[in-house]
Structure 1
Amino acid sequence: MSDILVLDKEATLAALDPRQLMTAVAEALVAVARGHASAPPRTAAFAPGGLLGAMPGYVPGLGLAAKLVSVFHDPDRPGRSSHRGIVALFDPEDGRPLAVLDAEPITAWRTAASATHSALALAGPGPVVVVGTGVQARAQVSLLAVLQPDVPVTVVGRDPAAARAVAALHPAGRAGDGIEDAVREAATVYCCTGATEPVLRREWLAPAAHVSSVGGSHGHELDAETVREAELFAEWPGAAGTAPPSGAHELQGLPDDCGVTLLGSVLAGEAPGRSSPGSLTVFKSTGHAALDVAAAYVVHRSVSGGALR
């Protein structure tokens, strides 16, 4: 057991190279869409303050891993939640445990990577807005700072000081005065909140906006009208086909004619993106174990200097 790599939050984050992560997450999304990944729906045990989820997954070429993650309300910050836990990486050939990694940066950054892939594939040019000021918003803005440092980003949230701090992570970042005003002209909106009720409404959005909604573990982050009018995209079929916590609150009970396209199919060129330049598009992320595998692969490869494949 002494050969197992153990990394704390800072060391895990330091090994998450953003560009390598984008490549690995794209590979994982395509594998999910093609049915090549093995990952059962997330299960969870519920406690008074939150839940403990279990997410095992295997992605050919990337590896075998399992995440235990707790999602709890933060009593000191109403409307926000924490995502804490561990990711265990195993050798996919003989099952040896290889590494134990901090789950918080892995969860935040792999989620930001999938959200960014959705925007790159589906959004038109124009202003970018990030809604939220917590861990996920910081990861999203930090990733955009690496990939799109010249694209202006507006950060909005309930705490103006926190919004300014998150915006400062991007060289072209600024804090906005309010969600409604900020998103009216936005081409891309990243929703990164711990909302239990909608923080975004259809009437606020430009007709052809793209929304990457990655929050809402405890409830709806988007209103029903936004979901009803949008072309919908997700990481895996169970985002709409299974109940929370594995599925998305917003995608439950969709009409039979309201299809959800897998983002990996778009990235692979096997499904179209938005049907027209004037379409509203929504990527609804629930998180997926294959993305944890991708991030763990990047961390292990960075630290060990080797590869699992």
Structure 2
Amino acid sequence: MTARGPAHAPAVLDHDATVAALDPLRLLDAVGTALTAVAAGTVSAPPRIAAFGPYGLLGTMPAYVPGLGLAAKLVSVFDDPARPGRTAHQGVVALFDETDGRLLTLVDAEPLTALRTAATATAALLALARPDTARITVIGTGAQADAQLTLLSAVFGAPEDGLPGRRRPWAAGATPSVTLAGRDPDRTRELAGRHGVAAAASVESAVRAADAVLCCTAARAPVLDRAWLRPGAHVGSVGGSGGWEVDAATVRDARLFAEWDGAVTSPPPAGAHELQGADPARLTLVGSVLAGTRPGRRDPAELTLFKSTGHAALDVAAARVAHAAHQEQLGATP
């Protein structure tokens, strides 16, 4: 349901309206623009701040991205009693008019964050995976894995000319197989069935067979082992906000990519647990690969690792896509 008031009132998109407004391919393109702007140094985004209460925290992340706009996320992070050991993230992203400061749209931050994170991991996959990528494994059974499967389905279901600026690196017409792996067999089968992908017997078997692995978990300890990875594999890791999602040997052996330099230079949760202590010179910003100013994969046997920590510029990109789609639905100019 979408609330709509007078012409001057901001649009308010709830969960379902947000999901409906975030077309995966438009989101993928906008996220690519945001990543390129981050790498070019044209984004204005102050360090994240948070207020801590006895049971959780409220964080705020504002940013301005040229060509996309001005927005800020307010998000609460609390323990989820329905899922012991996991946290619930709830909040809003507010998009403002960059010319006069008017509040344009309030967007549900929970689905927006999951989908823009999946789009970011997908953009990195398209930029860094081997040209002969044939098998992709997604690890996880929660909301982030669900969003990642949605993005992969949209990309592989679209013609290459439907992916402006983000062409697939593999041969035209080739569609990689996707396998879902998780620790809970029932949850794995249920989510795999909803997306029409294979359910793996184990995480290890799925990783050993994959050319690319996308980790989408709330793990506090590594979910894969360097010894399981094939030569030339690409690994994307978007989870691990509470600890390591990728093992130290994989970090040691891989070429490292991230959205921003702070993935290495900032302490968690702004920075990545896995990249603390790494030489910043090892890191390449994925936006610079998209822009063509830095090389991506240099060798078929090279191991690449994209470690996502999120960035406020990505929230701006997603909020802009949602706002534009909503305005189109109303027959108005975005």
Q: TM-score, normalised by structure 2?
A: 0.87
Structure 1: 5+ residue runs without aligned partners?
none
| RMSD over aligned Cα atoms | 1.6
Could you say what secondary structure the match of 1:197 adopts?
coil
Task: Letter of the 1:298 partner, please give it.
Answer: V
Aligned match of 1:232: 256
Could you say what secondary structure the match of 1:193 adopts?
coil
Give the greater-gyration-radius structure (CA): 2
1:161 aligns with one of 175, 183, 186: 186
State the identity %.
59
- CA gap of 1:190–1:50, structure 2 versus 1, over 3 A, is farther
Q: Are residue 42 (structure 1) and residue 66 (structure 2) matched?
A: no
Q: Distance in 2 between matches of 1:40 and 1:307?
A: 30
Cα distance, 1:307 vs. partner? 5.9
Q: Distance in 2 between matches of 1:78 and 1:177?
A: 24
Structure 2: 5+ residue runs without aligned partners?
158-174
Please, which moves more after superposition, 288-297 or 156-165?
Answer: 156-165
Aligned match of 1:286: 309
Aligned match of 2:285: 262
Aligned match of 1:139: 147
- CA gap of 1:289–1:9, structure 2 versus 1, over 3 A, is same
Deviation per CA, 1:27-48, whole angstroms, max 9, x where unpaired? 0000000001111222223445
2:156 aligns with one of 148, 160, 170: 148
- CA gap of 1:145–1:56, structure 2 versus 1, over 3 A, is same
Match runs of 1:241-252 below 5 Å: 241-252=265-276
Aligned match of 1:122: 128
- CA gap of 1:20–1:207, structure 2 versus 1, over 3 A, is same
Cα distance, 1:84 vs. partner? 1.6
Aligned match of 2:19: 13
Please, which moves more after superposition, 69-78 or 80-89?
Answer: 69-78
Please, which moves more after superposition, 181-190 or 65-74?
Answer: 65-74
Task: Letter of the 1:269 partner, please give it.
Answer: G
Tell whether the 8 Å contact from 1:210 to 1:280 is kept in structure 2 after alignment: yes
Q: Distance in 1 between matches of 2:255 and 2:112?
A: 28
Aligned length: 306
Could you say what secondary structure the match of 1:120 adopts?
helix
Q: TM-score, normalised by structure 1?
A: 0.94
Q: Distance in 2 between matches of 1:154 and 1:25?
A: 25
Match runs of 1:181-220 below 5 Å: 181-220=205-244
Task: Letter of the 2:13 partner, please give it.
Answer: L
